[in-house]
Amino acid sequence: MSDSWPRRRLLAILRGASEPLDAQELARITGQHVTTVRFHLDVLTRESLVRQFQQPPRGRGRPRIGYSAVQRSVGYQELAQVLADQLGPDPRRRSEAAIAAGRAWGAKLDAVDHPVESLEDAKDVVMTLTSELGFAPERDPASETPEQAMVRLTACPLRELARTHSEVVCGVHLGLIKEVLERNGARGEINVRLHPFVEPELCVVRLELLAAHREPEPAPVPVVAEPAVEPMIAPSGGRVAPQLRNADPNIAKQSAQQW
């Protein structure tokens, strides 16, 4: 299963779901054909990573088959809840403590080894890291610019806890991402932000290239104004030399002689 990206993503989505999801719903979320989704779900079921549940049909028809992820460890959610509650009542201090904990985790994690020399490298590191941790990340090319990029996290192993303790859960994940990026050389180059629940089932990691490392804008080309020419009409109706504004008197005299 670990070699199959589609199955890893399905499993991550099911782990973050609050109720069983059927193949049709998973196909809509992932953009895969429903037949392909059913194939991957059968594999996950045989590997005892998901369980099947019979659900009421929508309208007339046969009952639906829902799928739910098998919990990897007993009481993991409850343990995380207890630890989150121990960080104190002040949300700011809880967030700071969570980020520090995430950094400590990232320092010990045998994680991505990919030198970060550009914004594109930073995106690759975040995509790989969050994929390995079960966040089912997606790129968001429509929002990308040369200075910033976004990675969409479509699943979260601790989503239900994050709904009530986002400053703790998301703080740990933010600290982890920061630490792994800095371990790979991004210190002082990339700013990282984590926006939880921009949609009910979606969080976003925003990567911003710091100003000191952005490409300088080209200097504007100076525009040289052409001298204005004022034609003059002689009292007799004949032509006289045009006069240049702010022109050298000697040049004006030579021009008058030519006329």
Alpha carbon separation from 127 to 100, 112, 151 (Å, rounded) = 22, 10, 7
Q: CB of 66 within 8 A of CB of 55?
A: yes
Q: How far apart are CA 241 and CA 151, in angstroms?
A: 69
Strands (E), 31-90: 50-55, 64-69
Letter for the amino acid at 227? P
Asked if pLDDT for residue 194 goes beyond 90, the answer is yes
User: 3-state class of 9 per DSSP?
Assistant: helix
Q: What is the pLDDT of residue 196?
A: 94
Query: How many distinct structural domains can be found in the chain?
Result: 3
Give the CATH number, domain containing residue 204: 3.30.1380
Same domain? 183 vs 86: yes
Q: Which of 69, 86, 116 is the last residue before a domain boundary?
A: 69
Q: How far apart are CA 153 and CA 198, in angstroms?
A: 10
Span 106-130, pLDDT tens digits: 898 876 778 898 999 999 999 989 9
Q: Is the dihedral of CA 165, 71, 17, 133 positive or negative?
A: positive
Alpha carbon separation from 120 to 43, 151, 205 (Å, rounded) = 34, 12, 14
Same domain? 12 vs 54: yes
Q: CB of 63 within 8 A of CB of 136?
A: no
Q: Average pLDDT of 83-103?
A: 87
Q: What is the pLDDT of residue 211?
A: 65
Same domain? 188 vs 203: yes
Across 31-40, 51-60, 135-144, the highest mean pLDDT is recorded for 31-40
Span 15-43, pLDDT tens digits: 888 888 999 999 999 999 999 999 999 99
Q: Which of 31, 53, 69 is the last residue before a domain boundary?
A: 69
Q: CB of 145 within 8 A of CB of 120?
A: no
Same domain? 9 vs 59: yes
Span 212-254, pLDDT tens digits: 545 545 555 555 555 444 444 455 555 554 454 444 555 444 4
Same domain? 40 vs 58: yes
pTM to 2 decimal places: 0.57
| Residue 239 lies in domain | 231-258
DSSP letters spanning 202-250: EEEEEEEE-GGGSPPPPPPPPPPPPPPEEEEE-TTS-EEEEEETT--HH
| Angle at 148 (CA atoms; ends 145, 153), nearest 5 degrees | 110
Look up tokens 């030519």; give the residue: 258
Domain contains 223: no
Span 159-190, pLDDT tens digits: 888 888 888 999 999 999 999 999 998 888 89
Per the prediction, the chain carries an average pLDDT of 79
Same domain? 33 vs 154: no
Q: What is the CA radius of gyration of the chain?
A: 32
Same domain? 84 vs 204: yes
